[in-house]
Structure 1
Amino acid sequence: MGVTHCTIAHALEKTKYPNSDLYWKKFEDHYHFSCQFTTDLIAMNHADFIITSTFQEIAGNKDTVGQYESHMAFTMPGMYRVVHGIDVFDPKFNIVSPGADMSIYFPYSESQRRLTSLHPEIEELLYSNVDNKYVLKDRNKPIIFSMARLDRVKNLTGLVELYGKNPRLQELVNLVVVCGDHGNPSKDKEEQAEFKKMFDLIEQYNLNGHVRWISAQMNRVRNAELYRYICDTKGAFVQPAFYEAFGLTVIEAMTCGLPTFATAYGGPAEIIVNGVSGYHIDPYQGDKASALLVEFFEKCQVDPSHWTKISQGGLQRIEEKYTWKLYSERLMTLTGVYGFWKYVSNLERRETRRYLEMLYALKYRTMASTVPLAVEGDSASK
């Protein structure tokens, strides 16, 4: 069609699950890795240029392989072997980091812009004993806040567990998690398992009075003021995922001035300068993560300026690198550059595209037809 094709992958699944290529058959019924990996290979090779949010998406770091790099060579036994899946040195790769909507997410200190009319709603959300069995006993404590999908990789149950195992952390702060839907149980099997695990952990560690579990919130404007309200409590945001490709909630929290603790695996490791604009945590070492949180809040009790220092460090980091204004300017520039480059150099990649068409016809179409809907439903909905 002559158009310039850009690919921006929300998340590549291959590095999230170690050895998922070698043991793809074992997980096929649940994750359908064969179809996912084939789709990703086709998309990344067909694109004229690729935009990633972080360097680690392309080439990883000294300890871990990059998301795209993991597709260079791998084997799915019984399916196929990839010997040159992608060239991570190809000049089509670019790093352009997204940001948060500054009209919605802005620092807590901008008092004239604060949506104080929403505070009664937010206080009801956080503290009301109506329609929520988990009620915070001490409203004067700072709040550790987290918001994400309720799935295994996001590891919100891991956050509840590390909080439950650390009595000192419970003395210092309350924990508020926003995820799932209490009134409408999910039909997704993985979310169902995490839903049950969350309930079990709260009961196991007797966390009622310390933990508030709130159903997923879709109102972005109120969510932004919620971040700022947590700032008023001198709390912190924690993103405990086992792996996070980028971490938009990390950006949102930092944009509002909320000190942020985020996973060391994935994009947040690049977003946050450890100890300056936030902190890195290892989701596989909950004891160390909880100890770091205790250290932070104890230090803030002795020296309140420490909270402000980390908050300001996060705001400065966002202003320098993570705004939609910077993103859109860079994207428009790249579109022009690659469109012109394609035109003057006739970079059609014809041989590659013919091969991709063959892979699509002979392999992918059959794979895709075997993948069921993400959630269970009646035949009419299908």
Structure 2
Amino acid sequence: MPNHSHNGLYIALISVHGLIRGQNMELGRDSDTGGQVKYVVELARALAQQPGVAAVDLFTRLIASPDVDQDYGEDIEPLGGKARIVRIVAGPPEEYIPKEQLWDHLDSFVDNMLAFFRTSDRVPDLIHSHYADAGYVGSRLANFLNVPLVHTGHSLGRVKRTRLLANGLSSQDIDQRYNMLRRIEAEELTLASAELIITSTRQEVEEQYELYDCYQPERMRVIPPGTDLTLFYPPQGDEWETAIAQDICRFLREPQKPLILALSRPDARKNIGALVEAYGNSPRLQELANLLIVAGSRNNVKDMDAGAQEVLTELFLAFDYYDLYGRVAYPKRHKADEVPYIYRLAALSGGVFVNPALTEPFGLTLIEAAASGLPIVATEDGGPRDIIGNCNNGILIDPLDSDTIVAALLTLLEHPEKRQLAVENGLRGVREHYSWEAHASSYLEVIRPLLDKTQVVERVPLSRRAMVYNDRAIVTSLDQNLLGNPIDIPYFIEVLRENRKSTAFAVATGRTLESALKVMRQYHIPEPDVLISSSGTVIHYRPDFTEDTWWKRHIDHRWTPGEVRRVLADLPGLELQPSIHQSQFKISYFYDAEVAPAIQEIKSLLYQEDLAVNVIFSFGQYLDILPIRASKGQALRYVADRWGIPLEHILVAGGSGADEDMMRGNPLAVVVANRHHEELSHLMDGERIYYAKQAHALGIVEAIAHFDFFNTMKEV
């Protein structure tokens, strides 16, 4: 097949699933119509406008089904200029097939794309695949046609599997329903075949692709996606006349003050409550500015999912606790096309945009805010580091430290010259780094050496695992095991990293999520694959702290915290710990052994009242009351079952009585030398429980060697 692209580049983009069109995109129609749809269309248009590009074709599946608009059945759809959508038959065209069920039709997609190239008498200079299924197609085509393959994953199977586990699905369900094994294998094939992988952030490279056997970071490039500067631009002066402005103003006593704007989903990981707490505790912030919280749209909080209900309820309680009425606006609903006006309103007021998320993989709202003329204050975790690094338009904060949030906001609000400089830097930085024109220019700069053959991509020999997923895990408590001697932590971390592909890492702690994250970041402990917090009542998964909602529903069985507090209210020697140590499913007391009844007596009292609880006593002074179904050990067994890792393949490290039920039964276990007094000394199963001679992290490393954990486990 002759190549007729000598007058300019011919680029073939592939996004298989089919619900793609140039106008009136049905974003959110189903799970196949997310941000990737808009991304590939905008990318095609932007590349086609670049000098030296002759044509850009975006290949997708043809769907001539009565269940979808007839647009999706058109063979060719112009996108303007030199770009178009080309629809390929793969599977029955009269049927819409979700992407999870398309795998058996992908080879037909390959064959029909080849037929299209033969008919058009033109071969692409470059193939760029989007998502795992297109990666499979692109790998086959690139290898057959001998042209370079570039790939963008958008989302990765190993990461999505973790999120699905958090929603209560088993490994078997996930593999069957989502064809996850085929998807991950296709992703490995694509990583092995592609000349370049394009990602949005450095974190995506380091924390997501790193999970794959064919991970080669030297072949990965970070090119952030563009934003539409025709939608997001500085205020024009008439924004206060809009309906959304009137809706916001009705909350505020002094609406002329600058607005501190937070805009996100009502998701606990977005950490909006920390911003409200920081604002509520700072009279100076309240004096200078109003707070605007845009947390999705709602008709009735009771109709929202449990996670959103909890977040909004906590926000409303915080507004009341800090008496923020008249100083905080929280509109009930807004339309999608009102979002640019919300940014411009905040900019016109002289305000600041804040993203206090626990982690932020990219941070599109930060770019939109900057393009609208707002300086930004954002979490130091993830994409915001790249954005502020490129634009120099704001301040990074520790989302778990209220004081840093207040200090950053005051810096911008009290110093107009600093705020204005951040605004100007942001407007310039977005044009240079985050517009679609900038994206397309950077893209061509990156791929040109591949096309000119001036860059030789070295193929590093890679070994593949026999298993698709982790086949073993190390689980450790936090305070007793890791934090006692920080000097030893780097050695333990290096051991983990060397075995990252085979071994999951989990932390089980009595601390809350926020407290655990704060101390782990302080000591540079890597984010665990699983974080079991609040003594086993909450489970989160990396890379973005997805909470296991099924576990929350499971442990709520017969849980009556009000009755627990009533029964224990008048007992001597018990004192409720501060609110920071309490949570929805954990009631924590200080225990004074000289005055308080014996632990067994407290248990009997609770059981006599027919309360279904689990009583945990540790360090000789801490008493936690949990739901009957909750504990570190029960959470560990639940995670092991969900992940398909046998308990015999798990090494548990503990140092106090709170760790005991994790260490009983079939797991391998190590009691570190610094265990609290004689707690855990009675666990004398010599075969599966090892008492380390060394303390803290070195005790865990000692046990790894004792059990030959990374070697003999392969033969179990």
Alpha-carbon separation, structure 1, partners of 2:369 and 2:377:
10
Indicate yes or no: 2:230 matched with 1:103.
yes
Indicate yes or no: 2:68 matched with 1:68.
no
**Residue equivalent to 2:414:** 298
Conservation of the 8 A alpha-carbon contact between 1:97 and 1:327: yes
Indicate how the Cα distance of structure 1 residues 33 and 51 shifts in structure 2: closer, same or farther if over 3 A, else same: farther
Query: Offset of 1:95 from its aligned partner?
Result: 1.4
Query: Offset of 1:259 from its aligned partner?
Result: 0.7
Q: What is the identity, as a one-letter code, of the residue corresponding to 2:310?
A: A
Alpha-carbon separation, structure 2, partners of 1:237 and 1:308:
14
Conservation of the 8 A alpha-carbon contact between 2:232 and 2:368: yes
Indicate how the Cα distance of structure 1 residues 313 and 336 shifts in structure 2: closer, same or farther if over 3 A, else same: closer
Indicate how the Cα distance of structure 1 residues 43 and 372 shifts in structure 2: closer, same or farther if over 3 A, else same: farther
Query: Offset of 1:318 from its aligned partner?
Result: 1.0
Alpha-carbon separation, structure 2, partners of 1:191 and 1:13:
25
Q: What is the identity, as a one-letter code, of the residue corresponding to 1:298?
A: E
**Identity of aligned pairs, percent?**
29
Alpha-carbon separation, structure 2, partners of 1:315 and 1:245:
22
Of 327, 330, 342, the match for 1:226: 342
**Residue equivalent to 2:430:** 318
Structure 1 window deviating more from structure 2 (42-51 vs 139-148): it is 42-51
**Residue equivalent to 1:45:** 188
**Residue equivalent to 1:164:** 280
Q: How do residues 168-207 of structure 1 correspond to structure 2 at under 5 angstroms?
A: 168-185=284-301, 186-207=303-324
Q: What is the identity, as a one-letter code, of the residue corresponding to 2:222?
A: I
Query: Offset of 1:247 from its aligned partner?
Result: 0.4
Structure 1 window deviating more from structure 2 (273-282 vs 28-37): it is 28-37
Alpha-carbon separation, structure 1, partners of 2:274 and 2:399:
8
**Residue equivalent to 2:242:** 120
Indicate how the Cα distance of structure 1 residues 96 and 275 shifts in structure 2: closer, same or farther if over 3 A, else same: closer
1:29-74 CA-to-partner distances (Å, cap 9, x unmatched) read: 5465965996785464243453211223213xxxxxx3333x25xx
Conservation of the 8 A alpha-carbon contact between 1:244 and 1:266: yes
Indicate how the Cα distance of structure 1 residues 188 and 122 shifts in structure 2: closer, same or farther if over 3 A, else same: closer
Q: What is the identity, as a one-letter code, of the residue corresponding to 1:4?
A: G
Aligned residues: 312
Indicate how the Cα distance of structure 1 residues 33 and 102 shifts in structure 2: closer, same or farther if over 3 A, else same: farther
Q: What is the identity, as a one-letter code, of the residue corresponding to 1:53?
A: S
Query: Offset of 1:297 from its aligned partner?
Result: 1.2
Q: Secondary structure at the match of 1:101?
A: coil
Conservation of the 8 A alpha-carbon contact between 2:431 and 2:438: no
Indicate how the Cα distance of structure 1 residues 51 and 205 shifts in structure 2: closer, same or farther if over 3 A, else same: same
Indicate how the Cα distance of structure 1 residues 165 and 14 shifts in structure 2: closer, same or farther if over 3 A, else same: farther
**Residue equivalent to 2:326:** 209
Alpha-carbon separation, structure 1, partners of 2:218 and 2:208:
15
Indicate how the Cα distance of structure 1 residues 89 and 231 shifts in structure 2: closer, same or farther if over 3 A, else same: closer
Alpha-carbon separation, structure 1, partners of 2:221 and 2:187:
13
Query: Offset of 1:165 from its aligned partner?
Result: 1.7
**Residue equivalent to 1:89:** 217
Query: Offset of 1:334 from its aligned partner?
Result: 7.1
Indicate how the Cα distance of structure 1 residues 270 and 29 shifts in structure 2: closer, same or farther if over 3 A, else same: closer
Alpha-carbon separation, structure 2, partners of 1:13 and 1:206:
44
**Residue equivalent to 1:287:** 403
Q: Secondary structure at the match of 1:203?
A: helix
Of 8, 12, 17, the match for 2:153: 8
TM-score calculated relative to the size of structure 1: 0.69
Q: What is the identity, as a one-letter code, of the residue corresponding to 1:209?
A: G
Conservation of the 8 A alpha-carbon contact between 2:234 and 2:372: yes
Conservation of the 8 A alpha-carbon contact between 2:240 and 2:345: no
Q: What is the identity, as a one-letter code, of the residue corresponding to 1:189?
A: A
Indicate how the Cα distance of structure 1 residues 330 and 213 shifts in structure 2: closer, same or farther if over 3 A, else same: same
Indicate how the Cα distance of structure 1 residues 179 and 277 shifts in structure 2: closer, same or farther if over 3 A, else same: same
Query: Offset of 1:205 from its aligned partner?
Result: 1.0
Larger Cα Rg: Structure 1 or Structure 2? 2
Query: Offset of 1:89 from its aligned partner?
Result: 2.7
Indicate how the Cα distance of structure 1 residues 33 and 244 shifts in structure 2: closer, same or farther if over 3 A, else same: farther
Q: What is the identity, as a one-letter code, of the residue corresponding to 2:313?
A: K
Indicate how the Cα distance of structure 1 residues 218 and 68 shifts in structure 2: closer, same or farther if over 3 A, else same: farther
Alpha-carbon separation, structure 2, partners of 1:165 and 1:372:
31
Alpha-carbon separation, structure 1, partners of 2:314 and 2:297:
14
Gaps of 5+ in 2: 1-106, 111-136, 140-150, 470-547, 554-716
Query: Offset of 1:233 from its aligned partner?
Result: 0.7
**Residue equivalent to 2:205:** 58
Alpha-carbon separation, structure 1, partners of 2:328 and 2:158:
31
1:152-194 CA-to-partner distances (Å, cap 9, x unmatched) read: 1111122112211222111111000111334233542211211
Q: What is the identity, as a one-letter code, of the residue corresponding to 1:45?
A: E
Indicate how the Cα distance of structure 1 residues 204 and 315 shifts in structure 2: closer, same or farther if over 3 A, else same: same
Query: Offset of 1:324 from its aligned partner?
Result: 1.4
Indicate how the Cα distance of structure 1 residues 255 and 275 shifts in structure 2: closer, same or farther if over 3 A, else same: closer
Indicate how the Cα distance of structure 1 residues 339 and 313 shifts in structure 2: closer, same or farther if over 3 A, else same: closer
**Residue equivalent to 2:103:** none
Structure 1 window deviating more from structure 2 (279-288 vs 235-244): it is 279-288
Indicate how the Cα distance of structure 1 residues 308 and 136 shifts in structure 2: closer, same or farther if over 3 A, else same: same
Q: What is the identity, as a one-letter code, of the residue corresponding to 1:149?
A: R
Indicate how the Cα distance of structure 1 residues 372 and 194 shifts in structure 2: closer, same or farther if over 3 A, else same: closer
Conservation of the 8 A alpha-carbon contact between 1:105 and 1:252: yes
Alpha-carbon separation, structure 1, partners of 2:425 and 2:289:
22
Q: Secondary structure at the match of 2:329?
A: strand
Alpha-carbon separation, structure 2, partners of 1:191 and 1:318:
31
Query: Offset of 1:241 from its aligned partner?
Result: 0.6
Q: Secondary structure at the match of 2:269?
A: coil
**Residue equivalent to 2:368:** 252
Alpha-carbon separation, structure 1, partners of 2:340 and 2:292:
15
**Residue equivalent to 2:392:** 276
Q: Greater share of strand residues, 1 or 2? A: 2
Conservation of the 8 A alpha-carbon contact between 1:143 and 1:236: yes
Indicate how the Cα distance of structure 1 residues 89 and 309 shifts in structure 2: closer, same or farther if over 3 A, else same: closer
Q: What is the identity, as a one-letter code, of the residue corresponding to 1:52?
A: T
Conservation of the 8 A alpha-carbon contact between 2:370 and 2:426: yes
Q: Secondary structure at the match of 2:221?
A: strand
Alpha-carbon separation, structure 1, partners of 2:158 and 2:257:
38
Indicate yes or no: 2:293 matched with 1:152.
no
Gaps of 5+ in 1: 60-65, 73-84, 129-134, 361-370, 377-382
Indicate how the Cα distance of structure 1 residues 216 and 96 shifts in structure 2: closer, same or farther if over 3 A, else same: farther
Query: Offset of 1:101 from its aligned partner?
Result: 0.5
Query: Offset of 1:232 from its aligned partner?
Result: 1.2
Structure 1 window deviating more from structure 2 (185-194 vs 250-259): it is 185-194
Q: How do residues 334-345 of structure 1 correspond to structure 2 at under 5 angstroms?
A: none
Alpha-carbon separation, structure 2, partners of 1:339 and 1:274:
28
Alpha-carbon separation, structure 1, partners of 2:170 and 2:154:
16
Q: What is the identity, as a one-letter code, of the residue corresponding to 1:127?
A: C
Query: Offset of 1:265 from its aligned partner?
Result: 0.3
Query: Offset of 1:7 from its aligned partner?
Result: 3.3
Alpha-carbon separation, structure 2, partners of 1:255 and 1:275:
11
